Chains A and B, each alone.
Chain A
Amino acid sequence: MSEVKTDLVDVEIDGVWYQFPKGMRMIEACRQAGVEVPHYCYHPKLTSPGNCRMCLVEMGMPPRPAPGAEAPAPDENGHLPIAWMPRPVIACANTIGPNMGIRTTGPLTEECRKGVMELLLANHPLDCPICDQAGECSLQEFSVEHGKGESRFRERKVKKPKNVAVGPRIRLDDERCIMCSRCIRFTDEIADDPVLGFTDRGSHTVLTVYPGRELANNYSLNTVDICPVGALTSNDFRFQMRVWFMRETNTIDTNCATGCNITVFARENKIYRITPRQNNEVNSDWMPDSHRLNFHWIESDARLTDPLVKDGDHHRLASWSEAIATAADKLSALDGSEIAVIASARMTNEELLIVNRLVKHLKAGHVDTVARVGEPDGYLISADRNPNTNGVKLVLGLEDPGSQIEAIKAGIEQGRIKAVITLQEDLVDDAGFTPELLGKLDFLLSTYPLANATADASDVVLPGAAWAEKSGTMINATGRLQRLNKAVDAPGQTLEPWEIVRDLIQATGGGNGIYAVTDLFKQLAAEVSEFSGLTWGQIGDLGVPLIETGVTIPLLEREKQRIASGLIVG
């Protein structure tokens, strides 16, 4: 207890005394005290060069008495009087010390901020109406709070390169750049691809990508997120939608087992962009470009919108009740040992729970999911490209997901397996089933968001919602339980996979009274020991650790080292 005490120092921030660990950055102490210090170049995950000067604050320490003079006496709370320095200091790179005073308001800091703003705006184009950053631009926000309102600058603004393709996914407007160097530090320190730098330093400083190189690494779009102004814009998002029109949904990425925390920005049921959301236990502040941009297929023309039933050699539209009844008829006529259920490790725990019910209810002899394995990238992308393999193990009870697929193929080949129910998986493209093999089946039911070769071969095709159109929980590679939240409505008659499975169980004679996905979570908490005691609300936006897997995320490990060595705040 006393050990902890000695590490804390008393700091007065805007007249109120706080205790913070010694050596903490002033800006971080202010943040934790709920006092905002405006800044551009400082980012807690990057080193602090202290070059934007926006975070200047007043600082003071107890006066040092002249030799022979009486030392200042502490007040009744043990705090010494503070002698304020006549000049400001930057809060981002200076650390707190015992009995330090910080003033973030008052004439000196206000004058400093005004001055910095005026200099930054002197050469900044006034193109906010056509700038993608407008609405989430630090320069705009601080200009309102700390700017002068009008410009004294009567000279010509400096001309710099505009609309520069610095990489395949990013465009640069050098006139908008305020030279905070966050992007340079990101590519340097996090992405290990230092291709950006400032050339022609002086009144004509230009952010440059080294001639002949490009900013093409798979984390490049994070520079767009951390750019405090509209200098770096995403080719995919620029000019698509004003940011204030979009609704934000906190959810998780489903492209790999890391489960990066993300925010989905949508308007009128259309997703416009995805940005990483801070979670220091999963993805820090970052995410890979490949995952971020993998959402346009949700709007694909190939989306299934209605249940389809095979009629001769083609499919015709059917109602849900007809499609489900057709499936129930076929399945009821078969013995469980003749039925295989192929679920997906892209399904949520809730969906897997109800799939497990279906398997038991049909006494299906074969059950598996499709494995997806790729190369880990050493940053955030896991080798396991399924988002919920741990959920499959825990909830569906498979020991080695994906290991039975070949046996199921052989079973179909030999005629032992007569019916396959495939849920949210494309057996032809992703699991190596040939249409000929699927043709040997008496009955094939498939659910998937998109039309594909498996749907082609299916007797009943059911439109199942995509990841952004459903809610649930998943367990990432490190064993963290995280929430997937619905961001947009699914098109047409599409249902969430758990609803489809519920209806199938009901139609084949198994009753249940599940009306919401949260009911399934309650059952999970009641039935699966790892979940016991958990509630939907407890999981929150950042998830909770659920199981020990021993898996670590390389990028996070490196970040922890940088925090430990004091390079970054974290």
Chain B
Amino acid sequence: MPLAVPPELEKEIDDHITHYPVSKRSAVLPVLHHLQHHFGYLSEEAVEWTAAKLELEPIKVLEVVTFYPGFRQEAPGKYHIRVCRTLSCAMAGSYELMDSLCEKTGIDRSGVTHHHPIAVSGDGNFSIEFAECLASCGFGPVCMVNDDFHEAVTNIDGLLSQYSK
């Protein structure tokens, strides 16, 4: 099934491609960012759409997608949580935070691997993964929910209640 890219998004992407006049291939990162932002993840169709857009072979796009952990190939939940596990946060309890978040949201992380870092709750509302340093080392443990940043997370119920709809 071809990717249904809304016209205004496609216009934005086309505009962004013009920033790379020498080689369209250089636009592969921004295009993927646009698509992931809109669709939540990069499906096979998204890879192929990007390849067609930039006149590349799909494998060249897949190489980029698989290189960056920031690009997701599987659909996250409605709210995607990223828990920092770098040293300061780890010492401040990020692994405990991860466990509690999983328990409260009903996420099973037992299937998580290096290549499939994201676990999604059964109802699809929440997904979770570990992230490396989110740049707030003085206020661990730190996490992000979609684009919101949360420092010194202790009140987990309070945090989740903001995203219960």
Q: Give the number of chain A interface residues (Cβ < 8 Å).
A: 16
Is B63 part of the contact surface with A, judged by Cβ < 8 Å?
yes
Is A201 part of the contact surface with B, judged by Cβ < 8 Å?
yes
> Which residues from B are CB-within-8-Å of A212?
44
Is B62 part of the contact surface with A, judged by Cβ < 8 Å?
yes
Least CB distance, B25 to chain A, in whole angstroms: 13
CA distance A201 to B60 in the complex (A): 12
When each residue 476-513 of chain A gets 1 if its CB lies under 8 Å from chain B and 0 otherwise, what string results?
00000000000000000000000000000000000000
Is A195 part of the contact surface with B, judged by Cβ < 8 Å?
yes
Is B66 part of the contact surface with A, judged by Cβ < 8 Å?
yes
B67 touches A208 (CB 8 A): no
Query: Contacts A202-B67, A204-B114 known; A197 to B60 CB distance under 8 Å?
Result: yes
Least CB distance, B55 to chain A, in whole angstroms: 12
A197 touches B114 (CB 8 A): no
CA distance A200 to B65 in the complex (A): 8
Is A198 part of the contact surface with B, judged by Cβ < 8 Å?
yes
Within 8 A of A (CB), among B49-69: 57-60, 62-63, 66-67
CA distance A209 to B57 in the complex (A): 12
> Which residues from B are CB-within-8-Å of A209?
59
> Which residues from B are CB-within-8-Å of A201?
63, 66-67
Least CB distance, B158 to chain A, in whole angstroms: 37
Least CB distance, A547 to chain B, in whole angstroms: 41
CA distance A210 to B67 in the complex (A): 15
A208 touches B62 (CB 8 A): yes
Is A194 part of the contact surface with B, judged by Cβ < 8 Å?
yes
For B57, B58, B59, B60, the residue with the greatest tally of chain A CB atoms inside 10 Å of its CB is B59
Within 8 A of A (CB), among B24-72: 44, 57-60, 62-63, 66-67
Is A196 part of the contact surface with B, judged by Cβ < 8 Å?
yes
Is A15 part of the contact surface with B, judged by Cβ < 8 Å?
no
Least CB distance, A421 to chain B, in whole angstroms: 54
B57 touches A200 (CB 8 A): no
CA distance A196 to B59 in the complex (A): 7
Within 8 A of B (CB), among A167-214: 194-202, 204, 208-213
Nearest residue in A to B67 (C-beta to C-beta)?
A201
Within 8 A of A (CB), among B92-129: 114-115
> Which residues from B are CB-within-8-Å of A200?
66-67, 115
Nearest residue in A to B68 (C-beta to C-beta)?
A201
Seen from chain B, the residues whose Cβ lies within 8 Å of a Cβ on chain A are 44, 57-60, 62-63, 66-67, 114-115
